[in-house]
Structure 1
Amino acid sequence: MKSMNKRYLLLLCVLVIGLVLAACGGGAATPTEEPMPEPTEAMEETPAEEPMPAFEPMVMTADNCDYGGLLKEIAALDQYTVQFTMCSPDPAFPSKAAFSAFAIQPSEYLESTGGSGQLLEKPIGTGPYMLDSWNRGEEIVYKKYDGYWGTAAIADTLVFRWNSEAAARLLELQSGTLDAIDNPAPDDFQTIADDATLQLINRPALNVFYVGMNNTYEPFNDEMVRQAIAMGIDRQRIVDNFYPAGSEVASHFTPCSIPNACVGDSWYNFDPEAARQMLADAGFPDGFSTEIAYRDVVRSYLPEPGVVAQDIQAQLKENLNIDAEIVVMESGAFIAAADAGELPGLHLLGWGADYPDMTNFLDFHFGAGASQQFGDKFPDITDALSKGAALSNDAEREPFYVEANNLIKQHVPMIPVAHGGSAVAYRAGIAGAHASPLGNENFSVMDPGKDTFVWMQNAEPISLYCGDETDGESLRACEQVTESLLAYEVGGTAVVPSLA
């Protein structure tokens, strides 16, 4: 789950997998019986069957709950039962358990590949597809797993391809070489809707695009500087010019469709005069020089990263006399640098929901276990978030999220810009086509009318390991192979049974 830092998440994933497998293992499977021969006088007495190995349950208990997580104990009670004991009530726990970061993989495989990096490229799971090949830079090919425990995949072969250019993705879809594309450009929505050979399915805007700053670097260590930049960017202009229908300016960090997301004060209004005065009061009447770092990867929250970066660059110069150099980075290196707190200027990033709860947005970014993306933590924010996360009733949680939202506005660790509407475009007539609000489309339920389904997304996955939840392209790719104890309904956020 994304409310934890990656190191803790990895350790917990391995722990949960081990305990679940312990609960489900219990010895070798009983072989199918063959017909017994009729007894004869010469036949010896049938020897007694050897007893099954005794079930040895695993249990892991935390000394206390001060380590920052929510689990006090995980115990395998018997061969088919795992019990989670929480440090405090957690209304989002079923949704977290459905998140693919907790996908189940064979313990033997985890042990044999531990530390080798093989898990990143060769996942083994319980899903409807299995990995056939990954041709780096070209495509990933999956084959239907004939022994799948659930409903078999419809298409025998699933192919993932990628292209960072929205126009190129659409051109291939129109030419018939693809069955579906992710994130068509905002200007192409109407073109797709008017094409009888295509179908456009909108995706709800459960995401946020923000401009990040790290408070350990000057001048962003000054709260007045951060507030001035917040007032000096016209966010409505960005949404109007570069986002598709269904998008909206972010009044708060978390999308308002999530309970308690938009309680507390709304974000700063665009006020360039007040912004310039505040920047001058902070000691920068003539502005300063910095940089804007981003990765050239299309996301639902940032459909046109290059032009948005240029517009923010222009606004900073026009409104605040800030000279910002644009720095484009490779996706994996950019994420790593952001998490490590190594980006000294502004950076453009965003977040898509893993599950519809405040903890998924606020705790991951501003909680006690957050990365160094924004620099030093704000204890008043982390305290409010910890109290809110410990309650199970939305009404009881509300005062703490009012406090957290107001403090985020005051401290300005980042600037929430937009909740981006997006869509998936398919060939017309594909049965089961859908757009997941969580970005985890399930291709096993789609019928392309042929043996192979070809999908094109914005970028190549960084890895095929769902435990690394920082990259949406990677999550979608690994989710075709692995499964968790619970799951999200196809095309929705409701939790349904899976392996449990």
Structure 2
Amino acid sequence: MKNLRIGAIGAVLLMVAAACGGSTTSSADTIAFAPKAYPAEGPADCSAEGYYGFKRITSTDASTVVFELCAPDVAFIQKLALTNFVINDSGYLSTATADGSIVEKPNGTGPFKFKAWERGTQIVLERNADYWGQLATSGTAVFQWQAEAAARLIALKAGTADGIDNLAPTDIAASEADPALQVIPRPALNIMYVGMNSSIPGDPFEKLEVRKAVALALDRQRIVDTFYPGGSEVASHFTPCTIAHGCAGEAWYETNLDEAKALMAAAGYANGFKTTISYRQVDRGYLPVPAQVSADIQDQLKAIGINAEVKEIESTAFLDAASSGTLAGLHLLGWTGDYPDATNFLDAHFGPSVIQFGAPIDAITSALAGAGKTAVAAEREALYAEANNAIKANVPMIPVAHGGSAVAFAAGIQGAHSSPLGNEELAAFGSGGDDTFVWIQNGEPGGLYCADETDGESLRVCGQIGEGLFGFVTAGAETKPLLATACEASADLLTWTCTLRTGVKFHNGAAFDATDVVDTFASLWDCANPWHKGRTGTFEYFGYTLGAFLNPDSCAKAE
């Protein structure tokens, strides 16, 4: 039986949890609803220099929340659907942020409850028998991880896994021909890029000429042809062209070694220089074989005198360093869309709070700010063209590929699907008899308080446990109501009134109401809020998507 695959330590944890009444999430005291507005002292000052985003959030009754914004946001509902913004019980937030357990023992309202995290091996979830919606098909869901695609496929063929993420490109054809497997492509709603930081003193990439030289030196078509599966393409822009306005403006540079060498000489590096190429050993649809792609880029850059040392960094440390803007040299990273709008790709990488590539660039951030405020297609097209042209002119990174990929399942798994957003729903998977579903992904989560996480490994687990006001349809990118039944916008898109689902309970037994929504967003929004705590405390996704923080002097700084 597949449930025998749960490790010995995990089995002990399960027995202890069962003896204590099931889920390892602590029980809750019932808290009577009381209306609440945040900030309590009055709306945020939308005219303050550098401030944008939320103005005020109010729970007017137990099933109604009102969001007031400083500026229109045409993607507001899509942003509310992100796994980073799942709603937490107010009482749980208070206790779990105080003792730090929020990072490892999530609470939620979703179809699975957290059961155990056996560090280094697996995470075990159990069916939420009190779920307000369709119950999970399997009674137990297990997340495991293997960095190597070959190891994941071996486990699937051996029957110790039911589904795996990211088949190696070289294994897709044979797996499709194997009657014991089912292979499902994942659309290329992603981007792989080579990042540089223009703000590290003394680093050659401070100079625009050097950054542009690297852009001109790389043969991106060679990389795609050599390392990517069918369905992949060279990126003409950072955002995939399937997203509206994503490819407005000029296409990226073509390879030109002569011009690249001239720029290196103009920058004072006619004889080249030494640097590093950093990556994390985590397969992604946008970067299926990180080590090999890094080695190929290393080889290509020798043509313009750049001698690069390839350097693997542990995944969570790598992401933290990228976010804090401390990665010197070149780094390989990418992005899978959270929702199909240009704001998700561009604001998350070039917005005013992002320092991954160095100091934000005004020509980019101003265009993005304007594009996010208007619903007029022609205006958005012009502003995104302006932003894309500024990205090309300043070369903070080099867009390389939109990568096709595939997931695989045992042939007997029902409900098998892939998600273009990388958030497959394990509640839909079942084998028609066995009550345990085992999914092997690329790496271990950094943490399970996903308001303060950015990696896909964390987000996929969190999405099985917690729910936001909205989510995304199974195997698609369209939004669907979850804890909200509807949100109505005012004509000027500045006020959103959301009606909440009634009768919902958190896994710890607490009743869900509108003040939980206010407290959840307040804890992310306000750096002085006592519940503004997580694994890093930086809450990057909030800054990427919903706006500036209140009391920014109290915000944690990425290190």
Q: Deviations over 1:80-121 (max 9, x none)?
A: 111112222212111111111110111111001224321110
What's the Cα RMSD here?
A: 1.4
Q: What letter matches 1:259 in structure 2?
A: A
* TM-score, structure 1 as length reference: 0.88
Counterpart in the other structure of 2:418? 435
Aligned to 1:306: 291
- Give 1:153's aligned amino acid: A
**Is 1:326 aligned to residue 316 of structure 2?**
no
Contact 2:235 2:402 in 1 (8 A): yes
Q: Which runs of structure 2 are paired with 1:417-456 in the superposition (5 Å)? A: 417-449=400-432, 450-456=434-440
1:395 to 374, 378, 390: 378
Secondary structure of the structure 2 residue equivalent to 1:58: strand
Instruction: Give the stretch that moved more between structures: 216-225 or 194-203.
Output: 216-225
Q: Among the aligned pairs, what percent are the same residue?
A: 51
> Contact 2:138–2:427 (CA<8 Å) still a contact in 1?
yes
Gaps of 5+ in 2: 1-28, 485-559
- Report what 1:348 is aligned to: 332
Contact 2:277 2:329 in 1 (8 A): yes
Hey, what does 1:62 align to over in structure 2? 44
8 Å contact kept, 2:447–2:453: no
For 2:38 and 2:290, the matched residues in 1 are separated by 46
Inter-partner Cα distance in structure 2 for 1:441 and 1:385: 30
Rounded to whole Å, the distance in 2 between the matches of 1:139 and 1:131 is 12
What's the CA shift for 1:54?
7.5
> What secondary structure does 1:114 align onto?
helix
Picking from 95, 98, 112, the partner of 1:112 is 95
SS in 1 for 2:424: coil
1:95-150 Cα offsets, whole Å, 9 max, x none, are 11111111011111100122432111000000111111110011111111111111
Deviation at 1:497, TM superposition (A): 1.0
| Residues in 2 aligned to 1:448 and 1:467: alpha-carbon distance in whole angstroms | 32
Written as runs of structure 1 = structure 2, the 5 A alignment for 1:224-303 is 224-303=209-288
Is 1:156 equivalent to 2:139 in the alignment?
Answer: yes
Report how far residue 28 of structure 1 moved: 5.6
**1:365 matched to 2:349:** yes
Letter in 1 for 2:374: L
Q: Deviations over 1:249-272 (max 9, x none)?
A: 000001111110001000000111
**Deviation (angstroms), 1:314:** 0.4
How many pairs are equivalent?
Answer: 449
2:481 is matched with which residue? 497
Specify the alignment match of 1:215 in structure 2: 198
Maintained 8 Å contact 1:231/1:269: yes
SS at match of 1:143: strand
Contact 1:68/1:368 (CA < 8 Å) preserved in 2?
A: no
Distance of aligned partners of 1:156 and 1:54 in 2 relative to their CA distance in 1, 3 Å threshold: closer
| 1:196 corresponds to which of 179, 182, 185 | 179
Which deviates more, 262-271 or 446-455?
A: 446-455
Candidates 155, 166, 173, aligned match of 2:156? 173
Which residue is equivalent to 1:185? 168
Output one character per residue of 1:423-457: Cα deviation in whole Å (capped at 9) or x when no partner: 11011132211100111100101222211001000
Separation (CA, whole Å) in 1 of partners of 2:51 and 2:287? 31
User: Secondary structure of 1:395's partner?
Assistant: helix
User: In 1, are the aligned partners of 2:114 and 2:125 still within 8 Å (CA)?
Assistant: yes
Please give the residue correspondences for 1:1-40 in structure 2 after superposition, counting only pairs within 5 Å.
none
Write the distance in 1 (CA, Å) between the matches of 2:425 and 2:223: 32
Quick check: which has more Rg, 1 or 2? 1
Q: 1:484 aligns with which of 468, 478, 482?
A: 468
Q: CA deviation at 1:325?
A: 0.7
Tell me the TM-score normalised to structure 2 length. Answer: 0.78
Moved more, 82-91 or 432-441: 82-91
Give 2:319's match in structure 1, choosing from 319, 330, 335.
335
Tell me the equivalent position of 1:144: 127
Question: For 1:91-106, what aligned pairs fall within 5 Å after superposition?
Answer: 91-106=74-89
Cα distance in 1 for partners of 2:47, 2:348 equals: 18
Residue 553 of structure 2 is matched in structure 1 by none
Quote the residue 1:48 is aligned against. none
| Aligned partners of 1:88 and 1:391 also within 8 Å | no
Alignment-mate amino acid for residue 246 of structure 1: G
Q: Is the 8 A contact 1:484 1:499 kept in 2?
A: yes
Superposed CA offset, 1:239-289 (max 9, x none) = 000011111100000111111000100000011121111211221111111
* Residues 274-323 of structure 1 deviation map (CA, whole Å, 9 limit, x = unaligned): 11112112211111111111111111111000000000000011x21100
Does structure 1 retain, via aligned residues, the 8 Å contact 2:35–2:62?
no
SS in 2 for 1:397: helix
Note the C-alpha offset of 1:346.
0.5
Cα offset for 1:55?
3.5
Do 1:65 and 1:71's aligned partners in 2 also have CA atoms closer than 8 Å? no
Paired residue for 1:407? 390
* Structure 2 residue matching 1:426: 3-state secondary structure: strand
Q: Deviations over 1:49-97 (max 9, x none)?
A: xxxx674333432121545442222111211111112222212111111
* Residue equivalent to 2:358: 375
In structure 1, distance between residues paired with 2:308 and 2:44: 47
Provide the residue aligned with 1:40 in structure 2.
none
